[in-house]
């Protein structure tokens, strides 16, 4: 088979055809976007150079949004950009920063507390906006104004990526936006004990998500869209009936709109997907990730591949981050080979870690294991 460039290879696998070899992507470790966090960290540079040279990159990029940021971490409450008075105080202790946000909604105040650490690429939500259904009603009282998108940075990322990979934007579904108002424990209690109230929050949020998505697509269409949030409605947290009621209609509508604009869709769902996989496939998505193996997931990769192949949906996974951070070199090689044995045949598969490292400095063990994963996958992935 004629050798493909990374863009061709990824698109071929995404459309469930057979490329020259299995594409190897490193997920959050975004080799082609010079503005990504990983490309700004000195301890990651050797690995990022290796990723650019030897893997099939996907640049994570989102069109810029307006200045009205309601949550403190570049998101909007329930998809609305309506300006709400917010007070913020910030406390610093060494490398750690705690910010307390007080939002003054028409129906009363909401408080959120976030923590960050300079050595870690994540944000910890110490206190969510909502702790009760009454707090959710306060959030719902914020008037909807759609988000405005600015794609002025798109020419830069398009030039950086070229034919070496794809560009991907990430989206949240309506049920996830509602659930994320609360801590995970409080959200599941809310959904179980007050399903009609939870349904109201999702029903209010859904048309907002669709309007914002339309505006995003009108501003700029990228290659691939990752819809995040389905994992919030998988067993054992909630029964499949919740996925069918609160998730399926909305991810299907989002997928249909993205397809109308010419983009591809990948559904992102950690955890135990066996009982909701058919509903994921019914959405019309082009791919699903990260397909975690047992015991973190509840279905083997070869079974995921079989069920997805029947519906012409590509599979992305399933190297767990803990193997890359904690495993031996031989364990990494064995994991790659097992994955290839389970999912390589027939195309429609991309080898992908289930998450990315977040610590600074990057551990030499993790660096070496990522390189071993890429080398092993390239060596064993040819068709």
Q: What is the pLDDT of residue 121?
A: 84
Same domain, 75 and 29: no
Q: In the 8-state DSSP scheme, what is residue 230?
A: G
Same domain, 251 and 122: no
- d(C-alpha 160, C-alpha 158), whole Å: 6
Total number of domains constituting the chain: 2
Using pLDDT thresholds of 50, 70 and 90, give the confidence band for residue 74.
Answer: very low
Residue in the block written with tokens 């990651």: 44
pLDDT in tens, 348-375: 999 999 999 999 999 999 999 999 999 9
Last residue of a domain, one of 106, 121, 146: 146
Check whether 217 has a pLDDT greater than 60. yes
Q: In the 8-state DSSP scheme, what is residue 244?
A: I
Check whether 71 has a pLDDT greater than 50. no
Check whether 69 has a pLDDT greater than 90. no
Same domain, 211 and 251: yes
| Overall average pLDDT of the 286-309 stretch | 97
Q: What is the pLDDT of residue 73?
A: 42
Check whether 336 has a pLDDT greater than 60. yes
CATH code: domain of residue 191: 3.20.20.210
Same domain, 82 and 120: yes
Using pLDDT thresholds of 50, 70 and 90, give the confidence band for residue 66.
Answer: low
- d(C-alpha 16, C-alpha 10), whole Å: 10
Q: Which residues are registered as beta bridge partners of 77?
A: 80
- d(C-alpha 279, C-alpha 248), whole Å: 6
Same domain, 236 and 353: yes
Last residue of a domain, one of 146, 162, 178: 146
Q: Which residues are registered as beta bridge partners of 89?
A: 100
Last residue of a domain, one of 112, 146, 180: 146
The answer to the question of residue 116 being in a domain is yes
Using pLDDT thresholds of 50, 70 and 90, give the confidence band for residue 120.
Answer: confident
Same domain, 209 and 104: no
The answer to the question of residue 1 being in a domain is no
Q: What is the pLDDT of residue 118?
A: 87
Using pLDDT thresholds of 50, 70 and 90, give the confidence band for residue 83.
Answer: confident
The answer to the question of residue 44 being in a domain is yes
Q: Which two tokens stand for residue 179?
A: 């659930």
The answer to the question of residue 30 being in a domain is yes
Could you list the residue range(s) of the whole structural domain that residue 189 is in?
Answer: 6-66+147-380
Using pLDDT thresholds of 50, 70 and 90, give the confidence band for residue 259.
Answer: very high
Same domain, 130 and 161: no
What is the chain's percent helix, strand, coil content, to nearest 5?
Answer: 40, 20, 35
Q: Are 26 and 370 in contact (CB under 8 A)?
A: yes
Q: Which of 248, 255, 247, 260 is nearest to 226 (CA)?
A: 255
Check whether 218 has a pLDDT greater than 50. yes
Same domain, 376 and 259: yes
Q: Which of 73, 83, 125 is nearest to 105 (CA)?
A: 83
């Amino acid at each position: 088979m004629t050798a493909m460039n990374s863009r061709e290879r990824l698109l071929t696998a995404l459309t469930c055809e057979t490329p020259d070899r299995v594409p190897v992507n490193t997920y959050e470790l975004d080799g082609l976007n010079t503005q990504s966090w990983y490309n700004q960290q000195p301890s990651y540079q050797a690995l990022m150079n290796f990723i650019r040279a030897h893997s099939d990159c996907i640049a994570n990029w989102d069109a810029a949004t307006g200045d009205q940021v309601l949550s403190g971490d570049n998101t909007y409450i329930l998809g609305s950009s309506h300006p709400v008075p917010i007070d913020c105080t910030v406390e610093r202790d060494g490398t750690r920063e705690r910010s307390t946000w007080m939002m003054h909604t028409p129906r009363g105040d909401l408080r959120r507390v976030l923590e960050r650490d300079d050595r870690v690429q994540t944000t910890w939500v110490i206190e969510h906006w909502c702790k009760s259904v009454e707090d959710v009603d306060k959030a719902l009282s914020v008037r909807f104004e759609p988000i405005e998108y600015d794609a002025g940075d798109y020419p830069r990322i398009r030039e950086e990526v070229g034919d070496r990979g794809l560009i991907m934007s990430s989206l949240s579904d309506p049920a996830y936006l509602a659930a994320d108002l609360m801590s995970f424990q409080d959200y599941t209690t809310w959904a179980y004990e007050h399903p009609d109230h939870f349904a109201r929050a999702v029903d209010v949020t859904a048309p907002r998500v669709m309007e914002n998505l339309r505006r995003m697509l009108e501003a700029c269409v990228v290659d691939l869209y990752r819809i995040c949030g389905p994992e919030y409605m998988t067993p054992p947290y909630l029964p499949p009936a919740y996925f069918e009621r609160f998730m399926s209609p909305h991810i299907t509508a989002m997928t249909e709109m993205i397809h109308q604009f010419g983009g591809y869709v990948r559904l992102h769902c950690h955890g135990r997907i066996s009982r909701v996989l058919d509903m994921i496939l019914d959405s019309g998505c082009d791919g699903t990730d990260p397909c975690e193996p047992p015991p973190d997931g509840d279905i083997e990769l070869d079974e995921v591949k079989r069920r997805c192949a029947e519906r012409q949906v590509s599979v992305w996974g399933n190297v767990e981050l803990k193997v890359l951070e904690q495993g031996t070199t031989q364990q990494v090689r064995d994991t790659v080979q097992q994955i290839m044995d389970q999912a390589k045949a027939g195309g429609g598969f991309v080898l992908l870690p289930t998450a990315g490292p977040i610590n600074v400095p990057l551990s030499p063990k993790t660096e070496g294991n990522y390189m071993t994963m890429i080398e092993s996958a390239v060596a064993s992935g040819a068709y």
